[in-house]
Amino acid sequence: MGNIYDYYAATSDTQALALFQDDSMVDPFGTLGLKGADPYLILGTIEAHLTGVSEEQVEADPRFCALLNDAEHDGPWLVSLTDTLRDALAAATPERLLKAATAWTRTEDGGGEDPGLMADFLERLGQLARDAAPRRRLYCGMSL
């Protein structure tokens, strides 16, 4: 059994934590639940590709996969995603998302993965980003 990743939007970290701790993971803005789409392994490369900055610059953003709940908790965990990623996904065309997905499949973490499947995930995450921007931020809840 793999990890479960739920991507969603909230108006603030406080609201995101409240939704997350409610344990229902149901949010008023729409949840995109995907098994196996680990933000640490995927979204740094995707954001770098979409924005033209280095992965190191992406990862330096304090919101990049920042843990919002207790680090000593055995899970589930809630992390924030960057506003830059939200905005880049919201503005990206399907063709640009496919290029970003293809770039990710050429990395060590993405090797052997289907770029079409990753592009589909990015398109759905992009829709969530369009619905969220600019008043809401993106988050990922992770559980085992």
**Chain segment 2-13, per-residue pLDDT in tens:** 788 888 889 999
Which backbone phi and psi does 9 adopt, to 5 degrees?
Answer: -120, 150
Phi, psi of 106 (to 5 degrees): -95, 0
CA dist., res. 126 & res. 89, Å (int): 5
Query: Please, where are the H alpha helices in the chain?
Result: 13-21, 39-51, 55-60, 83-91, 94-105, 115-132
Q: What pLDDT band is residue 86 in, cutting at 50, 70 and 90? A: very high
Q: Is the model's pLDDT at 1 over the cut of 80?
A: no
pLDDT value at residue 81? 97
Mean pLDDT of 125-141: 91
**C-alpha angle 74/26/19, rounded to 5°?**
60
What's the pLDDT score for residue 26?
56
Which range of 21-30, 37-46, 65-74 scores highest in mean pLDDT? It is: 37-46
The share of the chain scoring above pLDDT 90, in percent, equals 61
- With 60 as the cut, is the pLDDT of residue 112 above it? yes
Residue 23: the pLDDT is 57
